[in-house]
Structure 1
Amino acid sequence: MTQVFKFGGASVRDAEAIRHLGHLLARFPERPLVVVVSAMGKTTNALEALLAAARSNAPADYRDRLEALRRDHLATVEALFGERAEPVARRVEALINELDRRHRAHAERERPFHYDQTVCFGELLSTTIVAAWLEDTGLASEWCDARELIVTDGDHQAASVDWAATAERVRSLDLADGRLRVTQGFIGATPEGNSTTLGREGSDYSAAILAHCLGAEAVTIWKDVPGLFNADPRRVDNAVQLETISYHEAIALAWHGATVIHPKTLAPLQQRAIPLTVRSFQDLEAPGSTIGEDARHDGEVPALMLCEEQTLLEIRPRDFAFMDEACQHDILGRLVAAGLHAGLIDAGATRLSLCLDSHPARLEPLVASLADDYAVTRRDGLTLVNVRHGDDALLRALGEGRDCLAERRNTDTAQRLFPASQCPATWHLPD
């Protein structure tokens, strides 16, 4: 059965990383295999800066950035292929020139449309180089354009998948010839052929879309970490790896701030009971972590998720009326319109408390809007501590010496909001 592998930007950031990717894939001769690849390193950031230069009418800055993009990718081609570089370099040059033409063609279009016609070139460039390198090293490969496979609506920067049309196109792929397929993450296209992007964690989502439509046996996401942990190892000194968790548990962890797989990636896999494994591309002997149907090990160890740079809003009706369903509907509707997520929501008789990311461009207009109609109290500089499967002793230890500003708890999750100044740089989960 088909396997789907996904590689992020770190695994193709330069020539050395692409060579390592080739060695890794050579260890997996089973076919069919579909490989989904992100843009190289920080290319997406570079393309966003290029877009800003194009739209701000800064031609010199635009040209400098375009040439830097060309130079960086051609340098990778030269480092990989040496004297055999010319055919691949021509393909890279053609893509850069097409990017330049599209900027001129779409300079007056709305930004989300222009964004998608620009940023897609990061994945097109990386996969062109990767597919050529794999073929050059003897791994029979075929480059596939994800824009011809994943059909979406025209909601640019957050496109929704047309599942019926996508399934028809993906299933038309002939994977029986033993060739490895290399395609792009993060991008699709409208039926008219306009490029679109799939939003947050779009490359992982691309792998899940293809796996769902192909009825794949499994998906593997290759990262620079050995798997999923019960806490961020950079912030918790005794974080432990989770070998297996269920789809439900992974979604709950993601909702509460864990940097695990995004729920939109898991949904199409859960529908087909396709397991997803996170593995290290740096250490192939590491066992990895698997998300699937098996829930037997959920909750064996507590999980700690830290959401930093948080703002607490306490919202009250000005006439001291109840915070009833109509008020909550109005407030939460404004939250949705602002594009903000509330990590903690707590309602009382006359107030609604919201803990939000301190995202100035989105938060400030929301606060101003609410202040027109409600009494709003605000506190910034907070850390939201989310604990899954923690007992009373653990919660007491994590809260010791800290002022709890808001709290919620149910049977499996506790949330507490503390001043960031009272939170350590490194946390420890008591035994």
Structure 2
Amino acid sequence: MTQVFKFGGASIQDAAAIRRLGKLLARFPARPLIVVVSAMGKTTNALEALLAEARNGKTADYHDRLETLRRDHLSTVETLFGAKAGPVAERVEALVNELDQLHRQHASRDRPFHYDQTVGFGELLSTTIVSAWLHEAGMATAWRDARELVVTDDCHQAANIDWETTAKRVRGLAADDGRIRVTQGFIGSTSEGVMTTLGREGSDFSAAILAHCLEAEEVTIWKDVPGLFNADPRRFDNAVQLERISYDEAVELAWHGAKVIHPKTLGPLQQKSIPLTVRSFEDLEAPPSTIGRDTRFDTQTPSLVLRDEQTLLEIRPRDFAFMDEPRQHDILGRLVEAGLHANLIDAGAMRLSLCLDGHPERLEPLITSLCTDYAVVRHEDLTLLTIRHADDALLAALSSGRDSLAERGNADTAQRLFPSTQCQGTWHIPG
């Protein structure tokens, strides 16, 4: 059965990391194996900055950034291959030169289109280097261009998959000829061959697309942590690993802001009952976390999510009328038009409260619009606590000493909104 491995930027950030990747893959001889690779390290951020320079006409800054990109990748090639670096370095040079030409060609086009023609070069560069290194390390590999595999529409920066055509194109990846297929995450192309990108968490999504089309046995996402946790270990001193959760539970956690797997990645896997495993590339012996159909473990451990920089809007009709369905429909419609998502919604007879991420460029026009028809009270600098599967004692302990500005709850999820000044420092989950 086909296996799909996905490696993010941290796992291939430099020559030492790519060598470690080679040693890791050598421990998994089973084939067919498809390896989906992100851009190296912070390359996508660097490419986005390069895009900005290309569009604002700052030629000197643009060339400085382009040369830094070229130099960093060539340095990795030279460290890996030494005297044999020539052929790989030539391919890297060719890709950087092509990127430069595309920036010149598309700088006057709409930003989403320009973005998609250029930012995906991070994955093309990384897979060129990784594939060559695996070959050098004695593993038979085949480099495949994801733009020839993943077919999408032309919704740039958030392309939608043409599943039927994509399935036809990726079938050959499962050929059991002993070679590892190395391909790119994040990118695809239209049926006309115009490059597209898949949006947030695009590389994880790429792995899920291929696994879905090939009905793979499993997808493994390799990270610098051993798995998924019930809370952010940077905020909670006693967070514990969730070794098994269901697709539904993972989606709930992601919806509430947990840094788990994005729902668009889980959807294609859930449809084919393909488990997703998160493992540590730094410690292969560490127990992984697995997301699958089994729901038995979802309620065993409460999960907690903190979202900072929240804004609470308390919205009331000016005429002392009910906050009825037509008014709620009007307000939520404006929220959709602003491109915002409510992390908490709480309604009363004459009030609708919305907790929103603090995006000033989107939030301010929304508030201006609402103030024309409603009385709006605004509270800023807040932190939203969401707890899955909490009992009353846990909720009370975590709320103690904090002033709740808004609350929501159901059988599975409780939410409390506190001033951020009361949420600083390390949290502890009462046992």
Per the shorter chain, which TM-score range? over 0.9
Q: Distance in 1 between matches of 2:264 and 2:174?
A: 27
Superposition pairs of residues 178-189 of structure 1, within 5 angstroms: 178-189=178-189
Q: Distance in 1 between matches of 2:182 and 2:189?
A: 17
Q: Distance in 1 between matches of 2:227 and 2:263?
A: 17
Q: Which residue in 2 is equivalent to 1:286?
A: 286
Q: Which residue in 2 is equivalent to 1:264?
A: 264
Aligned length: 431
Q: Which residue in 1 is equivalent to 2:402?
A: 402
> What letter corresponds to residue 254 of structure 2 in structure 1?
A
Q: Which residue in 2 is equivalent to 1:313?
A: 313
The share of aligned pairs that are identical, in percent, is 75
Q: Distance in 2 between matches of 1:189 and 1:373?
A: 44
Equivalent pair of 2:32/2:174 in contact (CA under 8 Å): no
Q: Which residue in 1 is equivalent to 2:162?
A: 162
Q: Report SS of the residue matched to 1:313.
A: strand
Deviates more, 1:103-112 or 1:320-329: 320-329
Cα shift at 1:185: 0.7
Cα shift at 1:405: 0.3
> What letter corresponds to residue 230 of structure 1 in structure 2?
N
Deviates more, 1:228-237 or 1:371-380: 371-380
Q: Which residue in 2 is equivalent to 1:92?
A: 92
Question: What is the CA deviation profile of residues 282-330 of structure 1, one whole-angstrom value per residue up to 9, with x for unaligned ones?
Answer: 0000010000011111110111110111000111222222222222222
Q: Distance in 1 between matches of 2:424 and 2:53?
A: 40
Q: Distance in 1 between matches of 2:173 and 2:372?
A: 55
Q: Which residue in 2 is equivalent to 1:388?
A: 388
Q: Which residue in 1 is equivalent to 2:175?
A: 175
Q: Which residue in 1 is equivalent to 2:217?
A: 217
Q: Report SS of the residue matched to 1:274.
A: coil
Q: Which residue in 2 is equivalent to 1:152?
A: 152
> What letter corresponds to residue 308 of structure 2 in structure 1?
E
Q: Report SS of the residue matched to 1:416.
A: strand
Q: Report SS of the residue matched to 1:282.
A: coil
Question: What is the CA deviation profile of residues 376-401 of structure 1, one whole-angstrom value per residue up to 9, with x for unaligned ones?
Answer: 11110000000111111101100001
> What letter corresponds to residue 188 of structure 1 in structure 2?
G
Q: Which residue in 2 is equivalent to 1:31?
A: 31
Q: Distance in 2 between matches of 1:161 and 1:253?
A: 25
Q: Distance in 2 between matches of 1:71 and 1:338?
A: 41
Cα shift at 1:338: 2.1
> What letter corresponds to residue 76 of structure 1 in structure 2?
T
Q: Which residue in 2 is equivalent to 1:133?
A: 133
Q: Distance in 1 between matches of 2:5 and 2:414?
A: 35
Question: What is the CA deviation profile of residues 29-86 of structure 1, one whole-angstrom value per residue up to 9, with x for unaligned ones?
Answer: 0000000000000101110110100100111111111111000000000000000000
Deviates more, 1:216-225 or 1:368-377: 368-377
Cα shift at 1:425: 1.4
Q: Which residue in 1 is equivalent to 2:57?
A: 57
Q: Distance in 1 between matches of 2:354 and 2:93?
A: 50
Q: Which residue in 1 is equivalent to 2:369?
A: 369
Cα shift at 1:333: 2.0
> What letter corresponds to residue 222 of structure 1 in structure 2?
W
Q: Which residue in 1 is equivalent to 2:198?
A: 198
> What letter corresponds to residue 8 of structure 1 in structure 2?
G
Cα shift at 1:332: 1.6
Q: Distance in 1 between matches of 2:415 and 2:139?
A: 50
Equivalent pair of 2:174/2:214 in contact (CA under 8 Å): no
Q: Distance in 1 between matches of 2:324 and 2:372?
A: 18
- Is it true that 1:428 corresponds to 2:417 in the alignment? no
Q: Distance in 2 between matches of 1:109 and 1:322?
A: 48
Q: Distance in 2 between matches of 1:189 and 1:323?
A: 46
User: Structure 1 stretches of 5 or more lacking a match?
Assistant: none
Deviates more, 1:357-366 or 1:178-187: 357-366
Q: Report SS of the residue matched to 1:193.
A: coil
> What letter corresponds to residue 125 of structure 1 in structure 2?
L
Q: Which residue in 1 is equivalent to 2:251?
A: 251
Q: Distance in 2 between matches of 1:151 and 1:336?
A: 28
Q: Distance in 2 between matches of 1:296 and 1:270?
A: 16
Q: Distance in 1 between matches of 2:109 and 2:372?
A: 34
Q: Which residue in 2 is equivalent to 1:2?
A: 2
Q: Which residue in 2 is equivalent to 1:229?
A: 229
Q: Report SS of the residue matched to 1:173.
A: helix
Equivalent pair of 2:242/2:289 in contact (CA under 8 Å): yes
Q: Report SS of the residue matched to 1:101.
A: helix
Q: Distance in 2 between matches of 1:201 and 1:379?
A: 31
Question: What is the CA deviation profile of residues 136-191 of structure 1, one whole-angstrom value per residue up to 9, with x for unaligned ones?
Answer: 11110011111111111111111111111111111243522111001111111111
Question: What is the CA deviation profile of residues 267-287 of structure 1, one whole-angstrom value per residue up to 9, with x for unaligned ones?
Answer: 100000000000000000001
Equivalent pair of 2:278/2:290 in contact (CA under 8 Å): yes
> What letter corresponds to residue 107 of structure 2 in structure 1?
A
Equivalent pair of 2:146/2:188 in contact (CA under 8 Å): yes
Q: Distance in 2 between matches of 1:173 and 1:12?
A: 22
Q: Distance in 2 between matches of 1:183 and 1:371?
A: 50
Q: Which residue in 1 is equivalent to 2:12?
A: 12
> What letter corresponds to residue 345 of structure 1 in structure 2?
I
Q: Distance in 2 between matches of 1:223 and 1:137?
A: 22
Q: Distance in 2 between matches of 1:130 and 1:59?
A: 31
> What letter corresponds to residue 135 of structure 2 in structure 1?
E
Q: Distance in 2 between matches of 1:152 and 1:116?
A: 12
> What letter corresponds to residue 285 of structure 1 in structure 2?
E
Q: Distance in 1 between matches of 2:187 and 2:321?
A: 48
Q: Report SS of the residue matched to 1:178.
A: coil
Q: Which residue in 1 is equivalent to 2:142?
A: 142
> What letter corresponds to residue 71 of structure 1 in structure 2?
R
> What letter corresponds to residue 307 of structure 2 in structure 1?
C
Q: Report SS of the residue matched to 2:152.
A: coil
> What letter corresponds to residue 289 of structure 2 in structure 1?
S
> What letter corresponds to residue 417 of structure 2 in structure 1?
L
Q: Superposition RMSD on alpha carbons, in Å?
A: 1.0
Q: Report SS of the residue matched to 1:36.
A: strand
Q: Distance in 1 between matches of 2:64 and 2:239?
A: 44
Q: Distance in 1 between matches of 2:410 and 2:95?
A: 53
Q: Distance in 1 between matches of 2:299 and 2:305?
A: 14
